[in-house]
Structure 1
Amino acid sequence: MIMLVLLSSCTSGRWVVKDRQAIDRSDYEVLEQQKFLSVANSLSPDDPILRLNVKSHTTYKYTQKMLVQRSIQDYRLRPGFVALGLAGAAAAFYAANSGGGSGQSLTLNAVGALLAASGFLNLKPVGEPRPVGEERYLNPSGTVVETDTINIKEDESSPATVLVTYGERTVFEENLDQIPDGQLQIPLAQGFNDLQLTDRDPGSFDIRVSFQDSMYHYRYPVESILEPYARITTDLTELRNEPVVDPDNVLADLTRGSQIRVDTLVNDQWYRVWYGISQNYIQSKDAQLSWRSTNLSVDDRVVAVPRVPFGNIDVESNIPVLRDKTPNARALIITNENYLDPLAERQNTHRDGRLMAEYLVEALGYSAEHIHHLTDIQNPDEIYRQIDQMASEVNDSTELFMYIGGYGELQNDHELTLKNVTPVGEKSASDISLRSIFSRLAALPASKKIIAADVDFSSSIPRKLSESEQTKLLKDHASILTQRPGSVLLVGNQPGQPSYLYRSSGGEDKKHHIFPYFVARALQQQRTSISRINDLLQRNISYTARRLHDRPQQPLILGDRSLSFTAP
């Protein structure tokens, strides 16, 4: 019982001063307020909207007051004081009740009671006071001035004027009576999409906002809201895995109208583009650059035509054997394909040359080592040296075949030339005179000379030149060769007509030009005489050109039509 009494405890609550100069935030006076705009986001092609938050720069005067808080304190009896009080009380009670007068007894009993109570009232605090979370402000003790910046979340009634300019052009303009929800939003995508920018470096644009008697000026690069896309402007352009013209690095062909996102403008010749999740390359001359936002609703599909390996086209396989091996046969194949600006690449020209070589070997018995294939000629001397070298290999019984493919040009109103292929950064050599080629061939001894030419002069032939005049021009150049027996020239088109690819917008694609395709088709059908080959060319080339391109392409034959690959 004594131990229970000694271990008993109690609690009591009290108010404690927490801060004698606390700031009462609910008791204030606004001394000054200034509203302004602040940029809230970064622009990007995915989010081409500039957001400006309305903020307030406000000065307040707050009242300082004494802040008190209520806490609870635990107490416990002091055993020593309790024992001492009880001992004193026992002594007083004993003295009061052991004799003496009644007045003295009453006094001693009272003293004993007080001594006993004092032992229990002298309590010891246990631990720290515990706050209960109850606070209150008391009397004011002073004032304090503070300045704060806050976001305005409600509608702002102050008017604002927005002007977006690109150079001297106004892209977007708006006058607002109020700013909803305290945020001014400036949409930029539509206005800049309408500009249809095509420059490699589109520069910057300016935004000016008038608000609360202040003018805000922001400048951003166009590429912060728009992305560059390349729209293919040629029938096909090669998608490559590196920025080098190489037949082994082509992944696919992109068709005209395809739009593909540009990652980097590598240099004047190449764009690095995104094809799926990989980065590849296209030649800049085959595409027009356009800047637009990511979310613009346009037909941005990419139509890719897979590369078709040689041998998968109908005339590239099932080649018949038309005669035995012919050791005394020689061939020169010239194909220029990889032209640079201002000429477009002449697609599939090298493949045309390979097709001719395949038929010479497989169908007509030529030895592969006797077929000389020159590609992308940069200087006429390359051809002249090869013809001079062949002069030591031929004799009066030799069969000589030549194929020429590329762009041509009429120079000085009377000279037909084959355009050379000049590498980037190098000075262009003179183009290759067809008259000089024909005269050198005419000087070679041979029993048969069969020349097939698929040269496109169309961009340089004046419109005033009639078809008969064009034919006469070609005859004048070839006469030194074709006027002699045993020589014939097959030409795929009139000089003023383009030499078309066997390709349609609907997807039909033979991967060759029309003329060499039907030369191969004639041999595939075992037509070995020049007259029968010419019959097939006359019936099919013009018809196919009109069917696929709605344009004429009329083949010509000059020289000895009696020749045959299989007749002596």
Structure 2
Amino acid sequence: MKLFTHIVFIAVLGYGFMGCTSARWTVKDQHAIDESDPEIINQDRFLMQVGKVQPSESALTLNLMSRTKYRYNQRVLARRNIQKYKLRPGFIAAGLSGAALAFIAANSTAISKNRSQTRMWTLNAVGSVMVAAGFLNMKPVGEPRATGEERLLKKSGTIVRTDTVTVEQSLETDAYVTIQYRDSTVRNEEIRSIVDGQLQIPLSELLNNQLITGSQPGRVDITVQFQDSLYSYAFPVSDILEPYAKVTTRITSLRNSADKTTSNNIVADLVEGSQVKIASTENKEWYRVLYGISEHYISRQDAEIVWRSSDFNQQDQVVTVPRLPFGEVDVETNIPVLRAPQENAMALIITNKNYSGQYKERRYAHRDARLMKTYLQTALGYKPQNIFDLREIADTDTLHKVLSTMGSVANDSTELTVYISGYGEVNGADKNSQLTFLGVNGEKGNKQEVIELNSLFKTLSNLTKAQTVILSDVDFSQSLTNNISVIKTQRILESSIQNLDNDDNWAVLFGSQLNQESQVYISQSGSGKKHRILPYFFAKALQNRTTDLSEIYQYLERNVSYTARKLHDRPQDPLLLGNTKLDLAEN
């Protein structure tokens, strides 16, 4: 009994303090990769594009890469875990109870009076085992805790993996580069070394020399042959180059707003060949361009799109001409007074400048109108109220109203001078052809109305029986082919005035033949007289005090023709019909 008491005491004490931990190895991965000794299966090098091709980074950059295939052994991966255990009270109580019965039976006669030495030791052993079983049957506490120890065990298979890395060293090797733009080969070159692991192809530098134009520049194709592999790339030209507007007319206005009905928004005049970067092409009539740090506008009719690299030096390609106010050109000053004021002299000035569509702006047309008006007033004595100045005629109603007003005040002795500037068309190509003067487009973009010049000339001749001089700087060239003969064009011009009264008091001076352009007095460098050639030399003749119409015509024949060929390498030959002996300063 004393032994049982000791055991119970030890049990109670052990329950309060006893606990334990155990360590065991468990399988973490049946097919873990053993990287200690891989087998190299294959190794090769290739090129891979890095970065995005764009105008600011227009070089195609190819990195040299190394690709290696390895075969690895797979093994069972085991890891070591530690588990903490805690005594179970129920098992301890059961073990102690069973042990108590065994000890009582072994060491007393309370259960059995038949005691033998063998029975006593057996029951005591059973009681001890039951006590031990109660304490050893412990409960795990929490999850097993990994010790960090792992080991690879037996082989379970194999696996192949590919490792790709960048090669940053230079390599002596052959690479063949071909660059194709549309039907032409831009570059076909053998490259013998790759420096620092990179192959760079300067696309913008190569395409700059192609002088690419147009709103749809297409794409460029690049092929690179390297170590038995062919790499193909295709990029839109717009990803490589930037659009610029290149002036194609002798001069165009750079404006701060998309409005050509006024000259107050003109910032500068750009000469032919000037190039400015395009910011937007959304407007159908204008290019929005960058000039300096600001956005401006130039007419689409006066420029074409060219494609340039982002490092293109725009400043070297922009040539501006000074904007001279009226009165600073030689012909606009020192105007002589050739006769006294004329009470019975009347003039009609018609100038259309702001055309659209296929017809470009008639540069300096309004300045020419002011020049003619100034000379009529100052040199020839016309009263301001007797000069009818019509600009930007879009329909015939305006003209008919003015002609009606003129008819109400004119009489048979009224002197009449007419100046017309704009675009015209020839309907037909024989002696019965009709010449028409084109109105500018209406506000709603309606179809251009036309004014029949034959009828206009007839109406003007009916206003008075006195001297009538018509100066026509109308450009018909876009409606006729260049191969029409001079004789044929002259016959058409003659037919336009055949309905005029058969007297000697009228003359019509055409500024050019029908198939010839009416040119601007401006050189390729942008210098000029700020006028069209015909009105400039007509005013120059008056400035030189030449008033006889035949002498003026001879002066124009010499100077207009020569200047047009010198500045534009194109002919412009005036033609005088009617009475060539009229004098503009005759009272």
Same-fold status (TM-score > 0.5):
yes
For 1:173 and 1:424, the matched residues in 2 are separated by: 54
Give, in angstroms, the shift of residue 549 of structure 1.
4.1
Give, in angstroms, the shift of residue 336 of structure 1.
2.0
Partner of 2:249: 234
Partner of 2:289: 273
Partner of 2:101: none
Partner of 1:332: 348
Partner of 1:407: 423
Partner of 1:373: 389
Q: Which of 299, 306, 309 is the matching residue for 1:290?
A: 306
Partner of 2:518: 499
Q: Residues 107-154 of structure 1, C-alpha deviation per residue, up to 9 Å, x if partnerless?
A: xxxxxxxxxxxxxxxxxxxxxxxxxxxxxxxxx975799998754322
Report the CA distance shift for 1:450/1:165 in structure 2 as closer, same or farther (over 3 A): closer
Gaps of 5+ in 2: 1-34, 73-148, 154-158
Report the CA distance shift for 1:170/1:491 in structure 2 as closer, same or farther (over 3 A): closer
Report the CA distance shift for 1:143/1:315 in structure 2 as closer, same or farther (over 3 A): farther
Partner of 2:240: 225
CA contact (8 A) 1:482 1:488 kept: no
Partner of 2:556: 537
Report the CA distance shift for 1:488/1:173 in structure 2 as closer, same or farther (over 3 A): closer
CA contact (8 A) 2:469 2:506 kept: yes
Matched, 1:444 2:459: no
SS, match of residue 350 in structure 1: helix
SS, match of residue 181 in structure 1: coil
Report the CA distance shift for 1:330/1:300 in structure 2 as closer, same or farther (over 3 A): same
Give, in angstroms, the shift of residue 40 of structure 1.
3.5
Partner of 2:497: 478
CA contact (8 A) 1:399 1:447 kept: yes
CA contact (8 A) 2:250 2:523 kept: no
Partner of 1:392: 408
Matched, 1:308 2:324: yes
Give, in angstroms, the shift of residue 436 of structure 1.
0.9
CA contact (8 A) 1:28 1:60 kept: no
Q: Which of 566, 571, 578 is the matching residue for 1:559?
A: 578
Q: Residues 60-101 of structure 1, C-alpha deviation per residue, up to 9 Å, x if partnerless?
A: 99xxxxxxxxxxxxxxxxxxxxxxxxxxxxxxxxxxxxxxxx
Give, in angstroms, the shift of residue 176 of structure 1.
6.6
Q: CA RMSD in A?
A: 3.8
Report the CA distance shift for 1:156/1:567 in structure 2 as closer, same or farther (over 3 A): closer
SS, match of residue 498 in structure 2: helix
Give, in angstroms, the shift of residue 366 of structure 1.
2.5
Superposed, 1:417-496 pairs within 5 Å as: 417-422=436-441, 426-445=445-464, 447-461=466-480, 465-481=484-500, 483-496=502-515
Aligned residue type for 1:416: L
Q: Residues 322-357 of structure 1, C-alpha deviation per residue, up to 9 Å, x if partnerless?
A: 334334332211112223342332221221111101
Q: Which of 342, 351, 356 is the matching residue for 2:367?
A: 351
Give, in angstroms, the shift of residue 195 of structure 1.
4.5
Give, in angstroms, the shift of residue 157 of structure 1.
7.9
For 2:66 and 2:180, the matched residues in 1 are separated by: 28
CA contact (8 A) 2:276 2:314 kept: no
SS, match of residue 392 in structure 1: helix
Aligned residue type for 2:251: L
Give, in angstroms, the shift of residue 371 of structure 1.
1.9
Aligned residue type for 1:421: V
Aligned residues: 465
SS, match of residue 445 in structure 2: coil
Partner of 1:512: 531
For 1:262 and 1:244, the matched residues in 2 are separated by: 18
For 2:198 and 2:341, the matched residues in 1 are separated by: 85
Give, in angstroms, the shift of residue 188 of structure 1.
1.9
For 2:67 and 2:49, the matched residues in 1 are separated by: 15
Partner of 2:201: 186
Q: Residues 264-301 of structure 1, C-alpha deviation per residue, up to 9 Å, x if partnerless?
A: 22333221222233322211222221223235799962
Deviates more, 1:534-543 or 1:410-419: 534-543
For 1:448 and 1:178, the matched residues in 2 are separated by: 86
Report the CA distance shift for 1:56/1:466 in structure 2 as closer, same or farther (over 3 A): closer
For 2:486 and 2:173, the matched residues in 1 are separated by: 75
Give, in angstroms, the shift of residue 562 of structure 1.
4.5
Partner of 1:76: none
Partner of 2:337: 321
Matched, 1:198 2:213: yes
CA contact (8 A) 1:235 1:256 kept: yes
CA contact (8 A) 1:36 1:56 kept: yes
Give, in angstroms, the shift of residue 28 of structure 1.
5.5
SS, match of residue 356 in structure 1: helix
CA contact (8 A) 1:503 1:509 kept: yes
For 1:172 and 1:29, the matched residues in 2 are separated by: 47
CA contact (8 A) 1:209 1:217 kept: yes
SS, match of residue 274 in structure 1: strand
For 2:165 and 2:190, the matched residues in 1 are separated by: 25
For 1:292 and 1:549, the matched residues in 2 are separated by: 27
Partner of 1:4: none
Matched, 1:260 2:276: yes
Aligned residue type for 1:268: K
Matched, 1:53 2:63: yes
CA contact (8 A) 1:409 1:417 kept: yes
Report the CA distance shift for 1:235/1:143 in structure 2 as closer, same or farther (over 3 A): farther
Superposed, 1:20-35 pairs within 5 Å as: 29=37
CA contact (8 A) 2:271 2:526 kept: no
Partner of 1:41: 51
Give, in angstroms, the shift of residue 316 of structure 1.
0.7
Deviates more, 1:292-301 or 1:539-548: 292-301
For 2:191 and 2:406, the matched residues in 1 are separated by: 83
Superposed, 1:85-234 pairs within 5 Å as: 142=151, 150-155=165-170, 179-205=194-220, 220-234=235-249
SS, match of residue 500 in structure 2: helix
Report the CA distance shift for 1:52/1:345 in structure 2 as closer, same or farther (over 3 A): same
Superposed, 1:74-93 pairs within 5 Å as: none
Partner of 1:245: 260
For 2:558 and 2:517, the matched residues in 1 are separated by: 18
Give, in angstroms, the shift of residue 374 of structure 1.
1.8
SS, match of residue 386 in structure 1: helix
Report the CA distance shift for 1:44/1:382 in structure 2 as closer, same or farther (over 3 A): same
SS, match of residue 395 in structure 1: coil
For 2:184 and 2:568, the matched residues in 1 are separated by: 41
Report the CA distance shift for 1:220/1:518 in structure 2 as closer, same or farther (over 3 A): closer
Give, in angstroms, the shift of residue 159 of structure 1.
7.6
Deviates more, 1:452-461 or 1:532-541: 532-541
Aligned residue type for 2:418: M
Aligned residue type for 1:230: A
Give, in angstroms, the shift of residue 213 of structure 1.
9.0
Aligned residue type for 2:168: K
Give, in angstroms, the shift of residue 317 of structure 1.
1.2
For 2:172 and 2:580, the matched residues in 1 are separated by: 92
Report the CA distance shift for 1:401/1:168 in structure 2 as closer, same or farther (over 3 A): closer
CA contact (8 A) 1:260 1:300 kept: no
Give, in angstroms, the shift of residue 372 of structure 1.
1.9
SS, match of residue 249 in structure 2: coil
Aligned residue type for 1:321: V
CA contact (8 A) 1:172 1:188 kept: no
Deviates more, 1:544-553 or 1:314-323: 544-553
CA contact (8 A) 1:208 1:218 kept: yes
For 2:216 and 2:322, the matched residues in 1 are separated by: 32
Give, in angstroms, the shift of residue 482 of structure 1.
6.0
Gaps of 5+ in 1: 1-26, 62-139
